Amino acid sequence: MTALTDIKLAPIHLRRSILSVPAGNARALEKVHGLDCDAAIFDLEDSVAPEKKAEARDNLRRLFKENPLQGRETIIRINPLETEFGKADMDLVTEVSPDVVLIPKVEHMSQVQAVADILSEAGAPDDLAIWAMIETPKGVLNAPAIAPVDERLQCFVVGLNDLRKETGVLPQPGRAYLVPWLMQIVLAGCAHGIDVIDSVFNDFKDAEAFEAECAQGRAMGFSGKMLIHPAQIEPANRHFGPDPQAVKEAEAVIAAFAGPGAQHLNVINLNGKMVERLHLMEAEKLTAKARIIAERKKTP
């Protein structure tokens, strides 16, 4: 049984829909302001040609200075530090201070630690987080060791395009041969209290298959999905968002623990079910997410 002192409510983040936007596309960067995604990845890596990297950084510099995205997490995906572009990308990160820096193709603890050290040495805010792309066989195998490496690390993002390429696994419906690896990543994240975001779905015109993959990802325990097209935002928000019935049940749990004589109990009886205080923490997290969504809908 979990002791009262053992339970802590982690910071609440809404990460149902994580839209990837090429930093080289100025029009796409501006359009993000009108979209209902929970977060935006401003990509400096795969979606930007080498000769366009400097221009893409300038686009982000202007965006953060003149028209920053409000109310959503802002994420800059850098090029690997070992490339010729990585240092310049990190200079931009420390200059504009997004919410998150996303490291691609993470395979070892040292890659996360190197970025964390740069942030610390540059005096970056303590809440400037790190996310890690897990998209290679070594990344999957080393995920349990990578997850606890630094307190800035908040999230794994799965990249299946590279993982399929390196393993030869075909892109089949249901992802049967990928599920064991995906669950390894989810388990590693959950073991160390970090979120895990499901991979992109490439065929954005196949709405039915995308819905199915969202439902699968939610059932597997992912916090949300990385997206490549605005049309994918609404289905992702729906599948990974709080279910209305679950919110009602969570509110009942919160009310029960707030009742007379229950404030200091670790376990209560709620309608014939044993409910532990750890369920209260989950209920508070769920209702907090529902409130964030409701407040965003009120914002013009």
Which residues touch 115 (CB under 8 Å, ≥6 apart)?
78, 81, 90, 101, 103, 130
Q: Return the closest-CA partner of residue 189 out of 140, 144, 126, 255.
A: 144
The Cα–Cα gap between 142 and 188 comes to 9
Which residues on neighbouring strands pair with residue 75, listed in sequence order? 41, 100
Find out whether 84 is annotated in a ligand binding site: no
Pairing status of strand 39-43 against strand 267-270:
unpaired
Which residues touch 141 (CB under 8 Å, ≥6 apart)?
none
Find out whether 89 is annotated in a ligand binding site: no
The Cα–Cα gap between 92 and 56 comes to 11
Find out whether 162 is annotated in a ligand binding site: yes
The Cα–Cα gap between 132 and 154 comes to 8
Measured from the Cβ of residue 25, the count of other Cβ atoms closer than 10 Å reads: 16
Q: Return the closest-CA partner of residue 196 out of 149, 230, 147.
A: 147
The Cα–Cα gap between 77 and 45 comes to 6
Which residues touch 31 (CB under 8 Å, ≥6 apart)?
230
Q: Return the closest-CA partner of residue 178 out of 216, 224, 149.
A: 216
Q: Is 55 helix (H, G, I), strand (E, B) or coil?
A: helix
The Cα–Cα gap between 139 and 210 comes to 25
Could you tell me which residues are annotated as the binding site for substrate? 77, 135
Could you tell me which residues are annotated as the binding site for Mg(2+)? 135, 162
Could you tell me which residues are annotated as the binding site? 77, 135, 162
